[in-house]
Amino acid sequence: MEKINSIAIDGPAASGKSTLAQHLADHLGYLNLDTGIMYRAVTYAAMQQGVDLADAAACTRVAENTRIDIRPTAQTDGRPVDVLINDEDCTWAIRQPGVEGNVSIVAAYPGVRRALTEQQRRIGLRGQVVMVGRDIGTVVLPEAILKIYLDASVEERARRRFEERQQEGSQETYASVLESMRQRDQLDEARAIAPLRPAEDAEVINSDGRSIADILTQTLSLLETRRHGR
Ligand code: DC
């Protein structure tokens, strides 16, 4: 298989994938595409339209007909990008617990995955993309020159997510964040199509207790090695 000069970063929620991807993309001058945004956008659009989330065909139609735009932002409210769904700014709306609680259900439908995977693959094949998700190394872009599977313990990931939530002024408890993270892991790992798992040739990195600078250095050195075919 001919290698493509794009990087796949997979792993469970809050393992540090987005932070690593942002640093890598900045360092290399690559496009950073977080595919979780697309699954969240479809879930949000379906909820807004009153679609029954148990109806796979209806959710698939939403995935096929929703225009998702991810753009560099001029806002200063902490958002990494602007997310537009059918031209409406939904950057924060897709991060709300309502979407978070349902996204694994919608992301498990084959039709939804087909529609989004097609778009992601087209972008990734152009090269010079850091793509973040659950199935990038296994399904979307198996040709990626480097595949990272970034892991961390569920307690550490829940603590990170809990701190983010507190900064946003949320009343959610650590116990409830931990519980919903466990449920989401379980759904993402157990689904029949494109389950969360490392690709055979992925580099598995555990981020527990490690700094981003440290992980970035390791990733860049792995990239050098892969580029030289070692
Ligand atoms: O990374 P995230 O938390 O924003 O992802 C939201 C959900 O989307 C997550 O529950 C799993 C799903 N997802 C997926 O199934 N495949 C991807 N490539 C990216 C995300």
**pLDDT by residue, tens only, the chain of 230 residues:** 889 999 999 999 999 999 999 999 999 999 999 999 999 999 999 999 999 999 999 999 999 999 999 998 999 988 889 999 999 999 999 998 899 889 999 999 999 999 999 999 999 999 999 999 999 999 999 999 999 999 999 999 999 999 988 988 889 999 999 999 999 899 889 988 989 999 999 999 999 999 999 999 999 999 999 998 76
Centre of ligand 1 from the C-alpha of residue 184, in Å: 9
First and final C-alpha spacing in the chain: 15
Instruction: Give 215-220 contacts, CB < 8 A, sequence gap 24+.
Output: 215/16, 215/20, 215/150, 216/20, 216/23, 216/24, 216/27, 219/20, 219/24, 219/146, 219/148, 220/24, 220/27
Q: Which of 34, 134, 140, 184 to mutate to test the pocket of ligand 1 (most atoms within 8 A of CB)?
A: 134
Prediction pTM value: 0.93
Instruction: List strands edge to edge, sheet with 68-71.
Output: 68-71, 82-85, 88-89
- Pairing of β 203-206 and β 144-151: parallel
User: Ligand 1 pocket by C-beta < 6 Å: which residues?
Assistant: 13, 35-36, 39-40, 103-104, 107, 133-135, 184, 188
Centre of ligand 1 from the C-alpha of residue 183, in Å: 13
Q: Which of 20, 32, 39, 112 to mutate to test the pocket of ligand 1 (most atoms within 8 A of CB)?
A: 39
Amino acid present at 210: R
The tokens of 23 are what?
């640093």
Amino acid present at 152: A
1-30+128-224 shares its CATH topology with 34-126 = yes
Per-domain residue ranges for the chain?
Answer: 1-30+128-224, 34-126
SS3 5: strand
Closest C-alpha to ligand 1, atom 8 = 36
Closest C-alpha to ligand 1, atom 20 = 36
Question: Comparing C-alpha atoms, which of 12, 92, 90, 96 is closest to residue 45?
Answer: 90
- CATH domain 1-30+128-224 topology: Rossmann fold (3.40.50)
Top CATH class, 34-126: alpha beta
191 CA closest ligand 1 atom index: 15
Centre of ligand 1 from the C-alpha of residue 230, in Å: 31
Residue 79 near residue 92, CB atoms below 8 Å: yes
